[in-house]
Amino acid sequence: MTEDSQRNFRSVYYEKVGFRGVEEKKSLEILLKDDRLDIEKLCTFSQRFPLPSMYRALVWKVLLGILPPHHESHAQVMTYRKEQYSDVLHALKVVRFISETTPQVEIYLRMYQLESGKLPRSPSFPLESEDEIFLAIAKSMEEMVEDSVDCYWIIRCFVNQLKNKHQDALPQLPKAFEHYLNLEDSRLLSHLKTCSAVSKLPYDLWFKRCFAGCLPESSLQRIWDKVVSGSCKILVFVAVEILLTFKIKVMALNSAEKITKFLENESHQEMEEVKSVT
């Protein structure tokens, strides 16, 4: 039996006996042992499989450019990242923009604003829509990443990736959502159109916030694995799956406002049902 056939046989066997992911974990560990990490292969892996929790932060940091591909540089680069984090934090304290009682996610926001040259003149100034998006992502990321330095850098680069790499793709996602929903369930789409709900669906929550605050952490991590590795189209498929999961409830609602409110306020417990695409 060849090495490839042995690997395929083991994968099928592990999945049948309930150990799905064992081979995937081994494959990832092999990739992470390379002296120079192969970014393309890590992206491909992240697109195909959910990342094991013990390696997620490392892979995300590499794919987001926080760490370089070369292993030998990781420690030194993280030292620089920590120093930069401390310097920005200190600057905010000196200008009294944050205090000991400032929530951690707000600290992340102020640090990001300072580094991007968008710090308002006063902490009391109202937040912009992009600030609200940042906070939503930060709140979810804080639940996934324990270390505050890692968390800030991942949030920072994740948000920048959405702004830069996916800038042109994000506005097209509502049209893609309508296309795929029509393929899956044209009757459901017709109901949404009859209620004039298609244009009023919570696209900002789904696409600009990448479901932050909408889905439970377990599902969100798997979705963000794919977003971090370069694909924002996964967001469309998740949105379609949500509509299909709650089809009966949505079909029972007869106005755009009720449908939107339902989708925005759906409980995390019920959202656990949305697993097939993640």
**Does 227 score more than 90 pLDDT?**
yes
**Does 16 score more than 70 pLDDT?**
no
Among the listed residues 156, 99, 90, the one whose alpha carbon sits nearest the alpha carbon of residue 123:
99
**Would you say 241 and 185 are in contact if contact means Cβ atoms under 8 Å apart?**
no
> How many other C-beta atoms lie within 10 A of the C-beta of residue 43?
18
Phi, psi of 118 (to 5 degrees): -120, 20
How far, CA to CA in Å, does 56 sit from each of 9, 136, 217, 270, 274? 26, 20, 13, 25, 21
Among the listed residues 169, 274, 146, 160, the one whose alpha carbon sits nearest the alpha carbon of residue 211:
274
Fold of 168-277: Cyclin A; domain 1 (1.10.472)
Distance of CA 116 to the CA centre of its chain: 21
- The residue ranges of every structural domain in the chain are 168-277
195-200 average pLDDT score: 96
**Does 72 score more than 90 pLDDT?**
yes
Collapsing DSSP states into helix, strand and coil, what is residue 67? coil
Residues in contact with 27: Cβ distance below 8 Å, sequence separation at least 6, in sequence order: 45
CA dihedral 86, 89, 93, 99 (to 10 degrees): -120
pLDDT at position 150: 98
Average pLDDT, the chain: 89
Long-range contacts of 166-175 (CB under 8 A, 24+ apart): 166/227, 166/232, 169/232, 169/233, 170/207, 170/208, 170/232, 173/203, 173/206, 173/207, 173/232, 173/233, 173/235, 173/236, 173/239, 174/201, 174/203, 174/207
**Does 213 score more than 60 pLDDT?**
yes
